[in-house]
Amino acid sequence: MYSKKIVTIVMLAVLVFNVIGPVQISHAAALDNVIGTLTASTVSSPDGGSNVFSKLFSLLFDKILGPILNIFGGGKAANSQAENPVKVTPLPSDGNTSIVDSGVLRGKVIIVDPGHGGSNPGAVANNTRETDNNLAVSLKLKDKLTKAGAKVVMTRESDRTVAPEGSSLGQELSARVNIAETNNADMFVSIHSNSNPDPSLYGAMTFYPSGKASKLALEVQNSIITQTGAVDKGTSPATFYVLRNTSMPSILVEMGFISNADEAKKLQEDSYRNKVAQGIFNGVVKYFTNQ
Ligand SMILES: [Zn+2]
């Protein structure tokens, strides 16, 4: 049959395209993911960490399908942005970008999780450390959410680990999830900076848990792009430990690539950090508004 042949050819083409295409998955978060997966069987895991097939499927989804989705989602723009103005995903109803009704946040418990800290600085490049950018934006986000009436719980508020220093990465990530679960949080927002061996890559992207709704990630991603004008690398499902093990809506924001000199510079600027925080805030408000 023709159709069988066509399907085979298309699948081969997609595989080849993916292999030669730029890797979009975050270096630092991918490390979290792999180690999180490895430690899943020793740290409490509600999805039954011993199922080898589900783990394999999750890894395949992240490493292959995730990057494919990003390639089709405009990720290639990062390589040729000088010539081609980057496509910015239009928002359906975003006439006013900075003023949003924040009444919906009253009483909501929101966990803000600045990635890394202490002995684990995360990605380090272009004279900036991931942990510092993550914390600075997280503190600004905390301010905005608190002023809007939310109850914000930070996993850390200084340059330190969340689990006792010297704990394994599995214990560190588990400590962050435990804060969300013991507070019966309505939302978990993890904030990271990206890194890639290819310094020409830049842009913001937002991950959500594999198999769960992408709505929160889409709202936050779109709002970050609106506020910052960053390259839109889209949203993608992922099996990062903190996404896989939190029971409430959760996202992991990769604000930009510190391996790219320009984006590293921006992420150290107070005004740019404020724009990123405002974007995340607006996305969170839109998510609760449309629930
Ligand atoms: Zn990170």
Between the CA of 208 and the centroid of ligand 1 the distance, in Å, is 15
Whether 216 is in a domain gets the answer: yes
Whether 124 is in a domain gets the answer: yes
pLDDT at 283: 98
Of 224, 283, 274, the residue nearest 254 (C-alpha): 224
pLDDT at 250: 98
Whether 66 is in a domain gets the answer: no
**pLDDT tens digits for 195-218?**
999 999 999 999 999 999 999 999
pLDDT at 270: 98
Could you list which residues have their CB under 5 Å from ion ligand 1? Answer: 28, 115, 122, 192
Whether 11 is in a domain gets the answer: no
Over residues 112-125, the mean pLDDT reads 96
pLDDT at 3: 59
pLDDT at 284: 98
**Residue 103 pLDDT exceeds 60:** yes
Between the CA of 9 and the centroid of ligand 1 the distance, in Å, is 37
Cα→Cα distances 228→48, 278, 279, Å:
39, 9, 8
- Count up the domains in the chain and report the number: 1
The model scores a pTM over 0.75? no
What is the residue type of 98? S
**Residue 49 pLDDT exceeds 90:** no
**Residue 170 pLDDT exceeds 70:** yes
Whether 49 is in a domain gets the answer: no
Between the CA of 87 and the centroid of ligand 1 the distance, in Å, is 26
How far apart (Å, rounded) are the C-alpha atoms in residues 42 and 46? 12
Whether 9 is in a domain gets the answer: no
**pLDDT tens digits for 217-271?**
999 999 999 999 999 999 999 999 999 999 999 999 999 999 999 999 999 999 9
Owning domain of residue 257: 102-289
Whether 270 is in a domain gets the answer: yes
Between the CA of 291 and the centroid of ligand 1 the distance, in Å, is 29
Identify any residues that bridge with 109 across adjacent strands, giving them in sequence order.
151
**Residue 39 pLDDT exceeds 50:** no
Whether 235 is in a domain gets the answer: yes
Give me the CATH number covering residue 119: 3.40.630.40
